[in-house]
């Protein structure tokens, strides 16, 4: 149970606050709500169009935190109640977005509207009502690394200056306009610039979070089970789906891109530090990732195959992966970030945060969850005769 006498990083008692959390029903939102209910006395006005991932927190009404979380089924695109909720809160956290790469090149208009236009009123209401804002951006605002443009045999490719991503120094490098993959990153970049400008010109108190591939339980959906059969979620759910169905994992363009993965529970610790330490967090952009967990997507597939065999007790496929072109998998206009290593200087200095969980350990707990949650449902779906 939460204690009322939690202290911030400077030793002051943290006063309970009301948080308007937009996108609270998603992957990150559900973990953040859980943390806030279990470990703090803060109150959450949870805004989303879906509530499945936080149902366990909302029901039954006998939870010790029941009077501290309220769900508001609101589409922020068109709902006049939003401003009232922001006014009632001390802090707004905006997580709402279309953020699955399969949408960026196939639904670029929805992607741009969701990540820029729909976020505008949130920024405006916070600025006009002098309310603090924590806005979720993305590591994708960095785009490609400088190193990726160097000749393949250049020794400079090994120099961190050309690939480590720094909030206050790295440029944002996107592909051409016809590479619609970058619609998301570009929309996120512009809303970051707008928030930064509101801070500079109108004293908006803001924090911008750039997550670097946070993964864990409840991420996205398993196609045909709790999401559309033809849907393409992010890589963790794609590979989980393949493993659950005993299919080879699909490696886009050979699985050569590199990512750093951080465990959702480590990352949520960072967000709680931002919430509880406004003086240290306001006015900053924070990379939140785990530079020690870097792999190629091929290595991720291999490790997930090994971990899944361990947690499920099922043997691995003889041929565990298959190559697929990005055009076939994502369609026209796809492009990719080559490498994403977060620089941790700013978050270390301001909040003293460091990620703890290794890739193996986070995959072990996540795939245990995936197997427990979905294996039986998949078995039944596969056994069901197809209607003629
Ligand atoms: N998970 C990651 O690793 C990651 C990485 C980079 C950036 N981000 C950013 O973090 C945020 C949250 O990501 P997530 O992984 O939890 O995604 P998610 O899709 O699980 O959550 C987003 C939530 O926002 C809600 N939402 C979207 N549009 C809405 C609208 N118009 N009205 C009300 N609710 C709406 C969705 O229903 C969903 O529940 C996003 O802004 C995303 O761009 C996440
Ligand atoms: O079946 C698959 C699915 C994907 N890939 C490749 O894996 C890489 C990572 O893909 P994914 O996790 O789906 O997304 P990205 O890392 O590219 O982008 C996300 O980063 C942060 C965020 O902003 C929000 O989560 C989002 O944009 C990639 O190289 C895919 O091609 C695969 O090989 N097989």
What are the boundaries of each domain within the chain? 97-374
pLDDT over 90 (residue 182): yes
Using CA atoms, how far apart are residues 387 and 163, in angstroms rounded to an integer? 52
Report pLDDT for 96. 99
Mean pLDDT, residues 41-67 taken together:
97
Using CA atoms, how far apart are residues 1 and 271, in angstroms rounded to an integer? 20
CA 200 distance to own-chain centroid: 27
How far, in Å, is the centroid of ligand 2 from the Cα of 297?
A: 9
pTM exceeds cut of 0.90: yes
pLDDT digits (tens, 9 = 90+) for 361-371: 999 999 999 99
pLDDT over 80 (residue 356): yes
pLDDT over 70 (residue 375): yes
Report pLDDT for 388. 56
pLDDT digits (tens, 9 = 90+) for 144-156: 999 999 999 999 9
pLDDT digits (tens, 9 = 90+) for 111-122: 999 999 999 999
pLDDT over 70 (residue 1): no
DSSP string, 53-73: GGHHHHSSTTSTTGGGEEEEE
Report pLDDT for 372. 98
User: Does the annotation mark 184 as catalytic?
Assistant: yes
Among all chains, which residue has been given the structure tokens 């937009």? 22
The protein residue whose alpha carbon is closest to atom 35 in ligand 1 is 96
Catalytic pick among 104, 125, 184, 374? 184
- Confidence class for position 386, pLDDT limits 50, 70, 90: low
Report pLDDT for 5. 86
SS3 state at 288 = strand
How far, in Å, is the centroid of ligand 1 from the Cα of 136?
A: 8
The protein residue whose alpha carbon is closest to atom 4 in ligand 2 is 235
* Length of the chain as a residue count: 388
Mean pLDDT, residues 157-167 taken together:
97
Q: Which residues line ligand 2 (CB under 6 A)?
A: 99, 101, 138-140, 184, 213, 234-235, 238, 250-252, 255, 257, 259, 297, 336
Mean pLDDT, residues 43-55 taken together:
98
% helix, strand, coil for the chain, step of 5? 45, 15, 40
pLDDT digits (tens, 9 = 90+) for 257-299: 999 999 999 999 999 999 999 999 999 999 999 999 999 999 9
pLDDT digits (tens, 9 = 90+) for 184-229: 999 999 999 999 999 999 999 999 999 999 999 999 999 999 999 9
Q: Give the ligand whose atoms come closest to the C-alpha of residue 20.
A: 1
pLDDT digits (tens, 9 = 90+) for 78-110: 999 999 999 999 999 999 999 999 999 999 999
Evaluate whether 297 touches 259 at the Cβ level (below 8 Å).
yes
Whether residue 136 has its Cβ less than 6 Å from ligand 1:
yes
Strands 164-165 and 341-342: parallel
How far, in Å, is the centroid of ligand 2 from the Cα of 189?
A: 18
Report pLDDT for 387. 63
Evaluate whether 44 touches 58 at the Cβ level (below 8 Å).
no
Report pLDDT for 91. 99
Q: Which atom of ligand 1 is nearest to the CA of 79?
A: 32
Whether residue 214 has its Cβ less than 6 Å from ligand 1:
yes
Contacts of 145 (CB under 8 A, 6+ apart): 162, 163, 165, 173, 337, 338, 339
Buried b (16+ CB within 10 A) or exposed e, 216-254: bbbbbbbbbeeeeeebbbbbbbbbbbbbbeeebbbbbbe
How far, in Å, is the centroid of ligand 2 from the Cα of 209?
A: 18
Q: Give the ligand whose atoms come closest to the C-alpha of residue 321.
A: 2
Mean pLDDT, residues 245-261 taken together:
98
How far, in Å, is the centroid of ligand 1 from the Cα of 214?
A: 12
Q: Give the ligand whose atoms come closest to the C-alpha of residue 115.
A: 1
Cα–Cα distances in angstroms (integers) from residue 123 to residues 25, 130, 141, 214, 271, in the given order = 20, 10, 19, 24, 19
Whether residue 75 has its Cβ less than 6 Å from ligand 1:
yes
Q: Which CATH class is domain 97-374?
A: alpha beta
How far, in Å, is the centroid of ligand 1 from the Cα of 114?
A: 10
Contacts of 203 (CB under 8 A, 6+ apart): 130
**Ligand 1, pocket-test mutation among 22, 25, 28, 342, most atoms within 8 A of CB:** 28
Q: Give the ligand whose atoms come closest to the C-alpha of residue 234.
A: 2
Evaluate whether 133 touches 96 at the Cβ level (below 8 Å).
no
What interface predicted TM-score (ipTM) does this complex get? 0.99
């Amino acid at each position: 149970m939460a204690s009322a006498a939690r202290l911030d990083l400077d030793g002051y008692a943290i006063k309970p606050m009301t948080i308007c959390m937009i996108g609270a029903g998603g992957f990150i939102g559900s973990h953040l709500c859980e943390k806030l209910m279990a470990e703090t006395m803060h109150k959450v006005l949870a805004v989303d169009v879906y509530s499945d991932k936080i149902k366990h927190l909302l029901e039954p009404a006998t939870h010790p935190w029941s009077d501290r979380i309220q769900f508001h089924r609101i589409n922020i695109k068109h709902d006049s109640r939003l401003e009232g909720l922001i006014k009632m809160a001390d802090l707004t956290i905006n997580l709402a977005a279309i953020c699955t790469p399969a949408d960026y090149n196939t639904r670029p208009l929805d992607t741009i509207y969701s990540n820029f236009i729909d976020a505008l009123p949130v920024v405006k209401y916070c600025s006009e009502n002098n309310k603090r804002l924590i806005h979720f951006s993305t590591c994708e605002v960095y785009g490609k690394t400088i190193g990726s443009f160097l000749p393949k045999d250049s020794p400079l490719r090994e120099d961190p200056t050309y690939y480590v991503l720094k909030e206050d120094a790295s440029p944002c490098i996107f592909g051409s306009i016809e590479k619609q993959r970058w619609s998301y990153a570009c929309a996120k970049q512009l809303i970051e610039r707008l928030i930064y400008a509101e801070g500079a010109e109108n004293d908006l108190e803001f924090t911008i979070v750039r997550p670097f591939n946070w993964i864990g339980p409840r991420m996205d959906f398993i196609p045909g089970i709790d999401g559309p059969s033809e849907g393409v979620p992010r890589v963790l759910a794609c590979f989980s789906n393949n493993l659950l169905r005993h299919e080879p994992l699909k490696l886009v363009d050979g699985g050569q891109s590199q990512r750093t993965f951080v465990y959702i529970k480590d990352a949520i610790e960072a967000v709680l530090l931002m919430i509880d330490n406004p003086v240290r967090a306001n006015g900053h952009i924070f990379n939140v990732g785990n530079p020690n967990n870097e792999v190629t997507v091929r290595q991720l597939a291999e490790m997930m195959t090994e971990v899944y065999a361990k947690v499920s007790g099922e043997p691995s496929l003889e041929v565990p992966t298959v190559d697929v072109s990005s055009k076939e998998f994502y369609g026209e206009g796809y492009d990719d970030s080559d490498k994403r290593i977060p620089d941790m200087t700013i978050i270390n200095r301001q909040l003293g945060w460091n990620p703890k969980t290794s890739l193996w350990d986070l995959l072990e707990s996540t795939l245990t969850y995936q197997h427990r949650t979905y294996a039986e449902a998949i078995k039944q779906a596969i056994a069901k005769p197809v209607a003629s």
